[in-house]
Structure 1
Amino acid sequence: MKIFNKDEILARLDLERAEALLRQGFIAYSAGRAQLPPVQHFAFAAANGDCCVKSGHVEGDSLFAVKVSSGFYDNPKRGLPSNQGLVLCFCARTGAPLALLRDEGWLTAWRTALAGRLAARILAPSRVEAIGIVGTGLQARLQLRALQAVTPCRDAWVWGRSETELAAFAAEFEAEGYRVRTTLDAEALARACRLIVTCTPSSRPILQAGWLRPGSHVTAVGADAAGKQELALELVAGADRIVVDSVAQCAAYDEVSHALAAGLLERERLAELGRLLAGEQPGRQSEDEITLADLTGLAVQDAQIAKCVLEAQA
């Protein structure tokens, strides 16, 4: 069994190839050509942390993957990264272990950011005056970088709860040519931006109904386990177009689940990302509609991005 550390993994990670493989993975999942056993969730309330175990296999692929990913959100105060993780890859013909990817959570982070890119490609408005990023952590940074391939816009608003973290975020991206406006007021961000990504571990809604401009798109990636919520119920239910990575998974937890449980949303309104990517259902249909992508993260993404790393030339 080969063992790869974080630096080796990132050196082998081709983002364009990874995006293409993720696209194939979403399509395979929605077509019923992928195996995804139930997700295991751990919650560590006393440590402000959580962990999930996901496993997946795309029909016909030579490998299957098991991923362990944790988020301990007080870690930065201790000088440690919030996210950790690893991916185990096995031969789909013999069951033999092929590789241990000690990615420290980076593969999960990038596959999530690239899923946000895929959603934006088909749902974002054609004209983006400003990008709104809700959150200041690693995922917030990667989502903004992933969107570079979708829009030439380099004006960004960033919301967070810490002025110190906001200042660090702004300094990093201003050095790369962005014009960054930081804010502690999420409403101001929502009213200024028509392409918004929310990527926090919040347990209470940050964005409220009525704040979004016509033609806005929101990709929500933070609420990936029970108890998390970034969007108000009325905002979710009021969207003209709601796209999810998995109807079953999003109905169980994440933004959509709260609106379903409250009786504000019908399951029939949900469209899976894989079906849009396959051309079976339309993406954005007008410049005025408000669209939402609710992404919980699928194990098929972990298998596909691991495949990208293992197939790369050393």
Structure 2
Amino acid sequence: MKTYDKAQIIASFNTELAVRRLEEGFVAYSEARVQVPPVQSFAFTQNNGDCCVKSAYVEGSPTFTVKLSTGFYDNPSKGLPSNDGLMLVLSATTGQPLALLQDEGWLTGMRTALAGRIAARLLAPAQVKAIGIIGTGMQARMQLEQLRAVTDCRQVVVWGRNASRLDAYAAFARHLGFQVRSTQDAAELAGAANLIVCATPSRQPVLRSEWVQPGTHITAVGADAPGKQELEPALVARADRIIVDSVAQCSQYGEVAHALVSGLVSPDQLIELGALLAGRAKGREHDGQITLADLTGVAVQDAQVASCTLTALNACD
């Protein structure tokens, strides 16, 4: 078994290939051509942390992947990153481990950011006047990096609770070429931006329905485990199109789950991203609609991103 570290993985990563593989994976998932066992989740409430184990096999693939991802959200105060993890790629023919990708959570972050990019390409309004970023962590940064490929907008409003982290995010965004406004008032952000990405581990709603303008697209990626929530259920119910990465998974947790439990939306309103990519469902039809992509992270993303990463790494050997 080969072992690769984060630096090797980043150096060989082919972003455009990964986007194509992820799109193929979402379509395969929605067509029931992927084995995705139940997610294993751990909660470490006393340490403000969580861990999930996800695995997937895409029909016909020579490999399958098991991924471990952790999030310990007090780590920055200890000089440590919030997220960590690794991926194990195994042969679907012999079962032998082929590679350990010691990516330190980078691949999980990237596949999530690329899913956000795909959702924005399909659902964002034609004219993005400002991008709103809820959060200041690694995922909030990666999402903004990837949005540059799908919109010419270079105005960003960023929300966070910590002033120093807001300042650091603003410096990062300016380095990417954005004009930046920072705020600790989420209503201010919603009033300025019509493409909003929510990327925090919040367990209480940050964004409320009455703040959001008609025509806004929201990509919510933070509620990736039970108990997490960034949107109030009334905002989910207000959306004209609700796109999910997995109906089954988003019905258990994520933003949609809260709205379902509240009786504000019904399961038949949910459209899988794979169905949208395959042309079997409609997305945004006009710029007055509010659209929502609830992305909880499906293991097929890990299998696809690990597969294309291993292909690139093997080519470099």
Q: TM-score range by the shorter chain?
A: over 0.9
Aligned residues: 314
Task: Give the aligned partner of residue 269 of structure 1.
Answer: 269
For residues 70 and 279 of structure 2, what CA distance do their matches in structure 1 show?
34
Unaligned runs of 5+ in 2: none
For residues 93 and 187 of structure 1, what CA distance do their matches in structure 2 show?
53
CA shift, 1:218, in A, is 0.1
Give SS of 1:210's match.
Answer: helix
Structure 1 consecutive aligned stretches of length 4 or more whose deviation exceeds 3 Å: none
Q: Does 1:5 align with 2:5?
A: yes
Give SS of 2:210's match.
Answer: coil
Which one-letter code corresponds to 1:11 in the other structure?
Answer: A
CA shift, 1:112, in A, is 0.1
CA shift, 1:177, in A, is 1.7
Alignment of 1:34-183 (within 5 A): 34-183=34-183
Which one-letter code corresponds to 2:90 in the other structure?
Answer: F
CA shift, 1:176, in A, is 2.6
Which one-letter code corresponds to 1:149 in the other structure?
Answer: A
Of stretches 159-168 and 304-313 in structure 1, the one that deviates more from structure 2 is 304-313
CA shift, 1:11, in A, is 0.9
Task: Give the aligned partner of residue 28 of structure 2.
Answer: 28
CA shift, 1:174, in A, is 1.0
Task: Give the aligned partner of residue 220 of structure 2.
Answer: 220
Which one-letter code corresponds to 1:111 in the other structure?
Answer: R
Q: Does 1:210 align with 2:210?
A: yes
Which one-letter code corresponds to 1:154 in the other structure?
Answer: R
Q: Does 1:246 align with 2:246?
A: yes
Which one-letter code corresponds to 2:222 in the other structure?
Answer: G
Which one-letter code corresponds to 2:116 in the other structure?
Answer: G
1:119-153 Cα deviation digits (max 9, x unpaired): 11110001001000000000000000010110011
Task: Give the aligned partner of residue 15 of structure 1.
Answer: 15
Which one-letter code corresponds to 2:161 in the other structure?
Answer: R
1:45-68 Cα deviation digits (max 9, x unpaired): 011000000000110000000000
Q: Does 1:199 align with 2:199?
A: yes
Which one-letter code corresponds to 2:13 in the other structure?
Answer: L
Task: Give the aligned partner of residue 280 of structure 1.
Answer: 280
Give SS of 2:128's match.
Answer: coil
For residues 232 and 72 of structure 1, what CA distance do their matches in structure 2 show?
24
In the superposition, the TM-score normalised over structure 2's length comes to 0.98
CA shift, 1:175, in A, is 2.3
For residues 84 and 243 of structure 1, what CA distance do their matches in structure 2 show?
27
For residues 21 and 222 of structure 1, what CA distance do their matches in structure 2 show?
23
Of stretches 172-181 and 267-276 in structure 1, the one that deviates more from structure 2 is 172-181
Contact 2:145 2:176 in 1 (8 A): no
Which one-letter code corresponds to 1:285 in the other structure?
Answer: E
Identity in percent: 60
Task: Give the aligned partner of residue 189 of structure 2.
Answer: 189
Which one-letter code corresponds to 1:5 in the other structure?
Answer: D
CA shift, 1:214, in A, is 1.1
Which one-letter code corresponds to 1:288 in the other structure?
Answer: G
For residues 124 and 234 of structure 1, what CA distance do their matches in structure 2 show?
20
1:262-306 Cα deviation digits (max 9, x unpaired): 111101000000000011111111110000000000000000000
Give SS of 1:100's match.
Answer: strand
Give SS of 1:41's match.
Answer: strand
1:95-140 Cα deviation digits (max 9, x unpaired): 0110000000000000000000011111000100100000000000
Unaligned runs of 5+ in 1: none
In the superposition, the TM-score normalised over structure 1's length comes to 0.99
For residues 177 and 262 of structure 2, what CA distance do their matches in structure 1 show?
43
Which one-letter code corresponds to 1:126 in the other structure?
Answer: A
For residues 175 and 43 of structure 2, what CA distance do their matches in structure 1 show?
37
